[in-house]
Structure 1
Amino acid sequence: MATNENLPPNVIKQLAKELKCLDESPPEGIKVGVNDDDFSIIYADIEGPSGTPYENGVFRMKLLLSHDFPHSPPKGYFLTKIFHPNIANNGEICVNTLKKDWNPSLGLRHVLIVVRCLLIEPFPESALNEQAGKMLLENYDEYARHARLYTGIHAKPKPKFKTGAICESTTALNVDQSNTSVVNVDQKNQAASAALSMPPPVAPSAAAPKGGNSQDQAASAVPTSETGVSGAAATATTGITQKKEGVAKVQADKKKMDARKKSLKRL
């Protein structure tokens, strides 16, 4: 078995680059892992494509990389037993991409996508499993029945319930938040309507003469703000006005008393 120390630095560099890309943007229906003790072994969990006898199952496979990867193609094996024309009983995968059609520019992503596509469209003409290949050509329904049977027995069930539970919880949460927002908006609208419908507080002041300034009259008719701060400001303003009026009255009374005293002295 190869070890990380025995792998050439250029291979390790290439693997690190490809694995980072697969981690940041994984192919649809494929999860990739690596053996920490041996980077030449790449593991992948492949979800059975919908509409095939392999749907609802998750199949584990591995890719064995050579020391001169990517100049030589990796070897692919299914670790999960599967009934498929192009997959032997020992799990070996027969696909042209891993043989005569290999190109150093092709990466792990391309290989994994091709293998998953093989589950969608088998090639019975180059079968490693002769029984599956013959059955596929002569009686597809029987082939599909065998493939589904193997999937149900050996493949790991696809965790569909997790996705559904998350979606349902998220949907319910969104609905609750939406309803809460609507209630809050309604409550705010009702409060605003009630505040606007209330008559404005009238501050006590001296009676305005008839025919007074229209701007003064309009100013006195403007309602105070609905907020507590504006209400407090209006109350404070009223108090100051009352105090000024009281001081003016006292001064006027004092002037009257002084005038009376002066009159008495003259008498």
Structure 2
Amino acid sequence: MESGEIKMSTSVEFKRFDVVLDPSDHHYVNSKVNRDCFTNENSGVHRKIMREWKILQEGLPELIYVRVYEDRIDLIRAVIVGAPGTPYHDGLFFFDIQLPSNYPYQPPKVYYHSHGIRLNPNLYTRGFVCLSLINTWDGNKKERWDTSSSTILQVLVSIQGLVLNERP
């Protein structure tokens, strides 16, 4: 490096789990839900979501990034990077998630940002995600949403491993 030359870093480190303020571009931002259970820190739904945040914060696998919203704890955005060895290698796949007001007794809604392109049989151009864990596809009982054990992390890992895999 010559004198006076500035060395620029080309690498950007993204947080794997991040809490932000502005959900304005989230697919479900204007959906009609009873938000009382999300703002009341003593509600069971609020406590469950905070446990989910902790699970996500501590247990996200490689290539999955999650953003949650400080004032809208019912909304989550996930980005899954396509894994090497798959047709999705290094692609960015964005999913908006909304937790229902009776969470975890009902599975979350998941919207895929397809940009009008269908790259996978389980991901539709209108954002529909076909996955038994969120009850949008038939599956046997152990593959469907279980109110006592299913988690958002499980949903994300299922999308990563069962949908965005080497054999779509």
TM-score (ref. length: structure 2): 0.66
Partner of 1:29: 63
Aligned to 2:125: 89
Q: Which has the higher relative contact order, 1 or 2, with Cα contacts under 8 A spaced 6 or more apart?
A: 2
Moved over 4 A (4+): none
Alignment match, 1:102: 145
Query: What is the one-letter code of the residue matched to 2:160?
Result: R
- Partners in 1 of 2:36 and 2:114 — Cα distance? 29
The structure with more helix, counted as a fraction of residues: 1
Higher strand share: 2
Aligned equivalent of 2:80, options 9, 22, 46: 46
Give the counterpart letter for 1:86 in structure 2. Answer: N
How far apart, CA to CA, are the structure 1 residues paired with 2:34 and 2:76? 13
Residue number in structure 1 paired with 2:16: none
- The CA deviation at 1:6 is 4.4
Q: How many residues align?
A: 122
Pick from 159, 162, 166: which aligns with 1:115? 159
Quote how far apart the aligned CAs of 1:35 are: 2.3
**Matched position secondary structure for 1:54:** coil
- C-alpha contact 2:95 2:110 (8 A) present in aligned 1: yes
Matches of 1:72 and 1:59 in 2, distance apart? 24
Q: Deviations over 1:125-174 (max 9, x none)?
A: xxxxxxxxxxxxxxxxxxxxxxxxxxxxxxxxxxxxxxxxxxxxxxxxxx
1:5 correspondence with 2:36: yes
TM-score by length of 1: 0.43
Aligned equivalents of 2:93, 2:65: Cα separation in 1 = 11
CA distance in 1, matches of 2:92, 2:121: 18
- Over aligned residue pairs, what C-alpha RMSD do you find? 1.9
Give the letter for the 1:60 counterpart. Answer: F
Asked if 2 retains the 8 angstrom alpha-carbon contact of 1:78 and 1:92, the reply is: yes
Give, in whole Å, the separation in 2 of the partners of 1:22 and 1:34: 10
Cα distance in 2, alignment partners of residues 6 and 12 from structure 1: 6
- Identical-pair percentage: 30
SS of residue matched to 1:16: helix
Structure 2: tracts of 5 or more residues without a match: 1-30, 139-143
Between the aligned partners of 1:67 and 1:44, the Cα distance in structure 2 is 20
Structure ID, larger Rg: 1
Instruction: Provide the rounded CA distance (Å) in 2 between the counterparts of 1:51 and 1:38.
Output: 36
Shift of 1:5: 3.3
Which whole-Å deviations, capped at 9, do the CAs of 1:29-62 have from their partners, x for residues lacking one? 1111112232111111101011111111121111
Per the alignment, in what secondary structure is the counterpart of residue 164 of structure 2?
helix
